[in-house]
Amino acid sequence: MAPKRNVSRQEQKAATRESLKKAAIACFRSQGFAQAKITDITQAAGVAQGTFYVHFASKEVLLDELLAEFNQGLVARLAPAWIHAAERPLPERIRGTAEIFLSYWEEHRTFVEIYAERAAAGLGVEALRDGINPEAAGLMTGKLAEFVGTRGLSSPAARLVVYGLLALWARVGLQALFREDVSHAEAVDTLASLTVGALSGVLPKGME
């Protein structure tokens, strides 16, 4: 039998951090983000209350870390899809992106619901400006700028278009997740048609 490996202090700390995040998600889901207390989270994780503050300054900071992980996962899904679809027409790219976006949100429905509750309670100006997917916005802005080329949309204009579209995508995504009368297919079709329509109004002729 192989000898038991000693767990390092760093590994123990990482494991405790993950336990706190999992416990926080469970508490936020059952009690609501605003109502959940630090003591609820530490009790669910089976650690002392002071342990929470070793890892996170507040429950808002913890949720920000979960948001960063959520965004990283979405970008990891989107990036290869855009690379492989580089030669496809823009409408096909948009439809493929909408499919990935909505599927990812559906897989992470609990987190989206928690973050939406926090957003409804009030966020800072930067959070309101950047939305739930700042990394995705950066990726899409870059890809859109690449698509239209140097003679197309300027970088500031591209950013405005992308942030406007992401706000629309967030609204449609929330409808698709939390309304029983909105199907996944209908949401994908809506996102694709609205996005292509919006872009056709701002992209130079021949670049659609």
pLDDT at 128: 46
55, 38 in Cβ contact below 8 A?
Answer: no
At 205, which amino acid appears?
K
Task: Give 75-130 as a 3 state SS string.
Answer: HHHHHHHHHHCCCCCHHHHHHHHHHHHHHHHHHCHHHHHHHHHHHHHCCCHHHHHH
Instruction: Judge if 8-56 and 58-200 fold alike in CATH terms.
Output: no
pLDDT at 16: 95
pLDDT at 117: 85
pLDDT at 151: 43
Give 120-124's long-range contacts (Cβ < 8 A, gap of 24+). 121/33, 121/34
pLDDT at 153: 61
pLDDT at 24: 97
Class of domain 58-200: mainly alpha
Residue 152 is given by DSSP the state S
Look up residue 43 and give its two tokens. 């009790």
> 121-155, pLDDT tens digit by residue?
655 545 544 555 666 666 666 666 666 554 456 66
103, 73 in Cβ contact below 8 A?
Answer: no
pLDDT at 168: 86
User: Which among 194, 143, 148 is positioned nearest to 173, based on CA atoms?
Assistant: 194
Tokens 């027409």 found at: 89
pLDDT at 39: 96
Fold of 8-56: Arc Repressor Mutant, subunit A (1.10.10)
**Over its length of 208 residues, how does the chain's per-residue pLDDT go in tens digits?**
555 566 788 889 999 999 999 999 999 999 999 899 999 999 999 999 999 999 999 999 999 999 989 988 988 888 887 777 667 777 888 898 899 999 999 999 999 989 888 877 655 545 544 555 666 666 666 666 666 554 456 667 767 777 788 888 888 988 899 889 999 999 999 999 998 888 777 766 655 5
Centre a 10 Å sphere on the Cβ of residue 204 and count the other Cβ atoms it contains. Answer: 11
Query: What are the residue ranges spanned by the domains of the chain?
Result: 8-56, 58-200
Listed in sequence order, the residues at least 6 apart from 135 whose beta carbon sits closer than 8 Å to its beta carbon are 71, 72, 74, 75
